[in-house]
Homo-oligomer: A and B are copies of this chain.
Amino acid sequence: MITVLSGGVGAARLLRALSDVMDPSELTAIVNVGDDLVLHGLTICPDLDTITYTLAGLNNDELGWGLRGETWRVMDELDALGGAAWFRLGDRDLATHLYRSQRLTEGASKTDVTRELATHHGVKVTLLPVSDDPIATEFLTEDGRLSFQEYFVQRHHDVVVSGVEITGVESARATNDVERALEQSARLVIAPSNPVISINPILQVRGVREALRARRDDVVAVSPIIQGAALKGPADRLMRELGYESSALGVVDFYGDLVGTWIIDEADAALADAIRSRGARVEVTTTIMAEPENARRLAKVVLS
């Protein structure tokens, strides 16, 4: 059993690659819910959906988010009505959010709904929201306090951030399934997701950071920053703004004593010794997963 702490796109790709080289029913993802939102009355879970769609082979590669073959009837009309259409929700994608919102109203948990959607789409990996309680990643910026999607989608993460807060996290409980996965998995993997806004909300849920620290030897992390830059999204900029180096070394320092083995890209091989001097093992390989072959090679290193 392997468990992967997961954000959105980067984690989805790693999970897909792992599914190719191992039995996916032995694979569990503990997924960030800090960027979940309620919009138009609908509960939307971007990271859970990205992973579900990607593992189902339904992800839209052109857009980098959402479903392939998507249409935009509802959004076009909402835009015409003067509604909040900046957060684009495709017609098929909307069905996911309608389904989830209704099931939550009926008393189902986010964990239940995630399992139902995964089952429907034939996804064999176990997908677990880190908590069924609401938590929300918020940004303290030069423009004031912003919600995750206001920062990420509405402002295209192009605003100076002075702090990140995970509201609600002090009272959020990790689910029993999450606690069990953290205890019983042979290996705990931190996906190459944004450390500050994808992985950090998971780590801040009570008990998660401690569980990793207690099992440091079994914790493997893949750096999402290569040659100082994030492949996608604002991880590099955010690291700098929050006082970390924008490099694989900065990520190592961000996670501190949680990680036993680091996997870094060949382009960063020169950093290996510095990382080792901080007390971790280092594996060097290609960590860019654009090519399926490279992704599978990375997956094998994660498992080795």
**Which chain A residues in 4-63 approach chain B with CB under 8 Å?**
38-43
Interface residues of A in 62-100 (CB under 8 A from B): 71, 73-75, 77-78, 80-84, 91-92, 94-99
**B102 x A81 contact (CB < 8 A):** no
Q: Is the CB of B101 within 8 A of A41?
A: yes
A78, B105: Cβ atoms closer than 8 Å: no
- A283 and B40 CA atoms in complex are apart in Å by 47
Contact status B105-A92, CB under 8 Å: no
The reply to whether the CB of A117 lies closer than 8 angstroms to some CB of chain B is yes
- Cβ of A82: which chain B residues have Cβ within 8 Å of it? 99, 116, 120
A107 → B minimal CB distance (Å): 14
CA distance A147 to B91 in the complex (A): 28
In contact, B83 and A98 (Cβ under 8 angstroms): yes
Q: CB distance A78 to B98 under 8 Å?
A: yes
Which residues of B lie under 8 Å from residue A73 when comparing CB positions? 71, 73-74, 91-92
How many A residues have CB within 8 A of the partner chain? Answer: 32
Q: A43 → chain B, closest Cβ, in Å?
A: 7
Residues 100-138 of chain A, each 1 if its beta carbon lies under 8 Å from chain B, else 0: 011011000000000011001000000000000000000
Query: Whose C-beta in chain B lies nearest to the C-beta of A120?
Result: B81
Of A38, A96, A102, A120, most buried by chain B (CB within 10 Å of CB) is: A102
Closest 10 CB pairs of A and B: A41-B101, A77-B95, A73-B91, A40-B98, A41-B41, A83-B99, A78-B95, A40-B102, A77-B92, A81-B99
Query: Would you give 10 A-B contacts (Cβ < 8 Å), ordered by A?
Result: A39-B102, A41-B98, A42-B101, A73-B74, A74-B74, A74-B94, A78-B99, A81-B117, A83-B99, A94-B94
